[in-house]
Amino acid sequence: MSKKKQIKNLKKQLATASAKKVLKEVDPRHFINLPDIGTKTLRKILDNAHRLKKEKYSHVQIFDGLSMRMLFDKPSTRTRVSFEEAFEQLGGRARVLNKTDIQLGHGETVHDTAKVLSRYVDVLMIRTSSHEMVEEMAKWATIPVINALTDNSHPCQIMADLMTMEEHGKDISRAHVTWLGDDNNVSKTFAQAAGLFGFKLTMCAPEHLPLSDKVYKGKNITIERDPKKAVKDADVIVTDTWRSMGQEAKDNARFEPFQVNGGLMKLAKKNAIFMHCLPAHRGEEVTDAVMDGKQSVVFDEAENRLHAQKAILAWCLEKSKVRPKYRH
């Protein structure tokens, strides 16, 4: 190859490399799938969440001048209020949109909605059944998109759960977590977190639920169908509703042996904690005595949604070029 051609090729490569670099820098940081973000970044977000909790009333207004829209296709108490508060306590402005109130619920495409909303606001949070829809929104949005629960996952919840485990002295690289009950969005995200952080997960669900080996995979994940065996030596016992939103017709009877009650809690380690993302169906997946008992950390867990989401939002917006006003 002639020298002239070599130089031309090199210039071309350099131009592409720098274009890629610029593009990478302005790529929005989405928070949709924990494995896509990676353990190192998630660890930093968790550390920031612990710090933000300690500094509760003395935050720098890092979201000053920024605006968030929160798209809800399903009900919510914790996610809605904790996201609104997280953003506003740090100086931003958060507003809720119900999917049926906007054109998205009346035939406008996700593509067009993503592009339009990206021109108005700085970050978009979505709760809807379809995980693919959230991915599609992220594909076209030029602002960060946050998954606030789909039928596949609930990553913001799991960040708060990991934070809560750490606060209560559980090492997320080695603790034994036992999940009892339904195989759902939250249990699936626990499995992803076990893969990323290394804690041991025992998944205990009724036989009629097949438990995909694509989801519950890895040396540190075990499937145990007997609840009494599953809770043995557990550091953390966790459950969730037997009927997730949109699946209200499920048959409760088959889940009854998986109810977290005093008898099962006694079989775990003495200092085991009880966790539940809430809302709880008291008397179904958990008894009042466990929910309100000494081992329950469910309200710390709910509070930690606020702190974890501040850290998630800070990460999503840290490199945002949309508004140069943003400072970290």
Q: Footprint of ligand CP on this chain (CB under 6 A)?
A: 76-79, 149, 157, 277-279
Strand order in the sheet with 145-147: 93-98, 67-72, 123-127, 145-147
Closest distance between ligand NVA and the C-beta of residue 225, in Å? 20
Site string for ligand NVA, 177-216 (x = CB under 6 A): -------xxx------------------------------
Contact 306, 157 (CB under 8 A): no
Which does residue 77 touch among ligand CP, ligand NVA, none (CB within 5 to 8 A, set by kind)?
ligand CP
3-state helix, strand, coil in the chain (%, to 5): 45, 15, 40
Contact 290, 265 (CB under 8 A): yes
Where do we find the tokens 């043995």? 232
Closest distance between ligand CP and the C-beta of residue 269, in Å? 25
Which does residue 220 touch among ligand NVA, ligand CP, none (CB within 5 to 8 A, set by kind)?
none
> Tokens in use for 31?
């928070």
Q: For ligand CP, give the closer residue by CB, 48 or 309.
A: 309
Residue 157 is among the residues annotated as catalytic for this protein: yes
* Strand partners for 69: 95, 124
From 78, 168, 305, 307, active-site residue: 305
Which residue, among 326, 317, 318, 327, has the nearest Cα to 143 in the 3D structure? Answer: 317
Contact 143, 322 (CB under 8 A): yes
Which does residue 184 touch among ligand NVA, ligand CP, none (CB within 5 to 8 A, set by kind)?
ligand NVA
240 binds ligand NVA (CB under 6 A): yes
172 binds ligand NVA (CB under 6 A): no
Contact 201, 177 (CB under 8 A): yes
Residue 154 is among the residues annotated as catalytic for this protein: yes
Closest distance between ligand NVA and the C-beta of residue 130, in Å? 13
Question: What's the CA gap between 166 and 161, in Å, rounded?
Answer: 9
Residues numbered 39-68 forming contacts with ligand NVA, rule: CB under 6 A:
none
Can you point out the beta strands (E) in the chain? 67-72, 93-98, 123-127, 145-147, 176-180, 200-204, 221-223, 236-239, 273-276
Q: For ligand NVA, give the closer residue by CB, 56 or 250.
A: 250
Point out which span in 7-15, 136-144, 210-218, 236-244 binds ligand NVA (CB under 6 A). Answer: 236-244
Closest distance between ligand NVA and the C-beta of residue 161, in Å? 11
Q: For ligand NVA, give the closer residue by CB, 150 or 320.
A: 150
Which does residue 153 touch among ligand NVA, ligand CP, none (CB within 5 to 8 A, set by kind)?
none
Q: For ligand CP, give the closer residue by CB, 160 or 322.
A: 160
> Tokens in use for 155?
């990553």
From 156, 157, 168, 176, active-site residue: 157
Closest distance between ligand CP and the C-beta of residue 100, in Å? 18
- If one counts every other C-beta atom within 10 angstroms of the C-beta of residue 219, the result is 9
- If one counts every other C-beta atom within 10 angstroms of the C-beta of residue 117, the result is 22
Point out which span in 115-123, 211-219, 240-248, 313-321 binds ligand NVA (CB under 6 A). Answer: 240-248
Catalytic residues: 127, 154, 157, 240, 277, 305
